[in-house]
Amino acid sequence: EIVLTQSPGTLSLSPGERATLSCRASQTISTSYLAWYQQKPGQAPRLLIYGASSRATGIPDRFSGSGSGTDFTLTISRLEPEDFAVYYCQRYGSSATFGGGTKVEIK
Amino acid sequence: QVQLVQSGAEVQKPGASVKVSCKASGYTFTRYYMHWVRQAPGQGLEWMGIINPSNGNTRYAQKFQGRVTMTRDTSTNTVYMELSSLRSDDTAVYYCARDRLAGDYPLWHFDLWGRGTLVTVSS
């Protein structure tokens, strides 16, 4: 089973700064079947990115995904106040596995 | 509008079963695979299984094999997730989540989520 490791566990940044979140897989993820979700307290997750780099409907272009193989990155170019949340990566294809999450908090 | 409405919070005793419902509206129910994902308090997300609302076919995560049953009712556009032999570590919020696109094959990533159902297992 593929294990996803997200780092850092917590990222402390100020609004306007750039956030770089990492997701590393224990084995190669074929065809870039990698998604990213945002979750705020008390809410369901929201799909941000699928296929490693495609933005989901309605997602602002400050969110971008990149990577392939075993190393994937979610970048938020300039943090808005509403972007402080927990972010999960997910490997998919014949089942679904999530990473442990990265919390982006206000510094 | 397009939405998934889940049933309310449940409190169950260890060893009991719980059945959570998820009613879909605003789209063609049978065209989108549906998944169940759970989240223990303060923890991450855990995929439990998938159901094809068109024919009722299911696939479960190995961890839940033998304890989980997912069904659907096409007359009410509702999917159900029943978890049996409950333990304290089954305490979690249970989400239904829809595949991003309609199709004959699942995409395994989710663009529409219910608000979640808190299941508490306590004696």
pLDDT interval class at A67 (50, 70, 90): very high
Contact at CB, A95 and B109, closer than 8 angstroms: no
Q: What is the pLDDT of residue A58?
A: 97
Select the residue from B50, B110, B112 to test the A interface by mutation, using most A Cβ atoms within 10 A: B110
pLDDT tens digits along A76-102: 999 999 999 999 999 998 899 999 999
CA closest to A52 among chain B residues? B109
Question: What distance in Å separates the CA atoms of residue B36 and residue B18, rounded to the nearest whole number?
Answer: 14
pLDDT > 90? residue A60? yes
Query: Reduced to 3 states, what is the DSSP secondary structure of residue A30?
Result: helix
Q: Which residues of B touch A35 (CB under 8 A)?
A: 109
Whether residue A10 lies within 8 A of chain B, CB to CB, comes out as no
From first CA to last CA, the distance across chain A in angstroms is 36
pLDDT tens digits along A20-57: 999 999 999 987 899 999 999 999 999 999 999 999 99
Contact A73, A66 (CB under 8 A): yes
Question: What distance in Å separates the CA atoms of residue A31 and residue A91, rounded to the nearest whole number?
Answer: 11
> Which residues does B contribute to its contact with A (CB < 8 Å)?
35, 37, 44-47, 59, 61, 95, 97, 100, 107-111, 113-116
Q: Which of B110, B101, B114, B106 is nearest to A49 (CA)?
A: B110
Rg (CA), chain A: 13
Q: Which residues of B touch A30 (CB under 8 A)?
A: none
From the list A33, A47, A98, the residue facing B44 with the nearest CB is A98
**What is the mean pLDDT of the segment spanning B106-111?**
94
Question: What distance in Å separates the CA atoms of residue A29 and residue A31, rounded to the nearest whole number?
Answer: 7
Q: What is the pLDDT of residue B76?
A: 98
State what percent of residues in chain B have pLDDT above 90: 96
Q: Where are the beta strands (DSSP E) in B1-123?
A: 3-6, 10-12, 18-25, 34-39, 45-51, 58-60, 68-73, 78-83, 92-99, 110-113, 117-121
pLDDT > 90? residue A71? yes
Contact at CB, B113 and A46, closer than 8 angstroms: yes
